[in-house]
Amino acid sequence: MSHSGPSGLGSDPNSICGKDWKEPSCDWGDRDLAVAISEIQKKRKIDLVIFGHMHNRLKRNQGMRTMFKIDREGTAYLNSAIVPRYKKNIDGKLLVNFSWVEFVQNKISHISHRWYSESGEICEEEILF
């Protein structure tokens, strides 16, 4: 888990760590994290890397960011930077966003971004995996 995601996951504005706030777009990921991940992957599999920093809604009306990716080594990358984290539904009730990951028998079985009511009920869900 880190604040920013690693470099090497794309350089388009909508890439999971792409620069979208001014042109030209580029890979805005953390090089040190990418090196650390690569070194670990030489010794063992990394199931999941979770980070934020790069908001889901792109600047300059460019749409939405890709929030999930799997690399060639089978490592899943989840960007959890949903902004804003709170919103109101059509009935005016407060919803709170959380990223959700489930493992079954040590393997990722489900990844999603969920919106919960204050009572803990899942009201919306974007399934990513």
Asked, for residue 25, whether it belongs to a domain, the answer is no
What are the φ and ψ backbone dihedral angles of 32, each rounded to 5 degrees?
A: -60, -40
Asked, for residue 53, whether it belongs to a domain, the answer is yes
Q: What's the token pair of residue 81? A: 């930077």
Residue-wise pLDDT tens digits, 97-112: 999 999 999 999 999 9
Asked, for residue 112, whether it belongs to a domain, the answer is yes
- The string over 9-25, giving b where at least 16 C-beta atoms fall within 10 Å of a residue's C-beta and e elsewhere, is bbbebbbbbbbbeeeeb
Determine the Cα angle at 127 with ends 123 and 129, to 5°. Answer: 155
Asked, for residue 44, whether it belongs to a domain, the answer is yes
Q: What local confidence, expressed as pLDDT, does residue 61 receive?
A: 85
Residue-wise pLDDT tens digits, 63-97: 999 999 999 999 999 999 999 999 999 999 999 99
Percent of the chain exceeding pLDDT 90 equals: 97
Asked, for residue 47, whether it belongs to a domain, the answer is yes
Q: Which residue has the tokens 């493992």?
A: 103
Asked, for residue 118, whether it belongs to a domain, the answer is yes
Boundaries of domain holding 105: 31-127
Residue 50 pLDDT exceeds 90: yes
Q: How many domains does the chain have?
A: 1
Asked, for residue 82, whether it belongs to a domain, the answer is yes
